[in-house]
Amino acid sequence: MKRVSSTNIVLEALQDLHAQEQIATREAIAALTGLKEGVVDDRLKHLVSEGQAARVQRGVYVPVEQHPPARHISKTILPDGTVKIDIGDQVLTLTPREDRMLANLQAGVALHSASIEIGHQAALMSGTLNSRLNRLERMLCRVGDGIAEGKEVAVGAGQNQLELQ
């Protein structure tokens, strides 16, 4: 029985998380692989030094792309319903039925792409909401402190308008 190295285990987990558009942190990789975080850290450093992984920000890694760059893709629907799909220098000519069959095969990928985009938008919105919530908490603390000190509190309608007198 062939043993798989911890480096390969970490690389495969990194690739899997990345392929699923998930953020690959040492914690996520450790949870996925069952390896200790120290081992994952060491293997990630090794993968970065070997050019197989890249650190995109503190604690977040992506695999280095192993496949060639994407080619230009276009789809043209002709008046008779025939479809021409150009991929790089190659051209596919599809009948209307073949086009529908291909669309059915791609439906799952389209749905997955949409759910990934929704997740990205939710993460961005979450960051904005957290920022606003933190600002409101600071304002409320200032109001509470002002009231405790016997000051009169005036809150304006505009953003960040708070006056303690």
Report pLDDT for 8: 92
Mean pLDDT score, 146-157:
69
Residue 89 token pair: 């220098």
pTM of the model: 0.43
Mean pLDDT score, 125-152:
78
| CA distances for 105 relative to 41, 82, 99, 102, 122, angstroms | 39, 18, 10, 5, 27
Other Cβ atoms closer than 10 A to 31: 13
Percent of all residues in the chain with a pLDDT value above 70, rounded to a whole number: 91
Whether residue 159 is predicted with pLDDT greater than 60 in this model: the reply is no
User: For 157, which DSSP code?
Assistant: S
Whether residue 121 is predicted with pLDDT greater than 70 in this model: the reply is yes
Burial of 13 (0-12, 13-18, 19+ CB in 10 A): buried
Fold of 6-63: Arc Repressor Mutant, subunit A (1.10.10)
Encode pLDDT of 53-75 as tens digits. Answer: 999 888 899 999 877 888 999 99
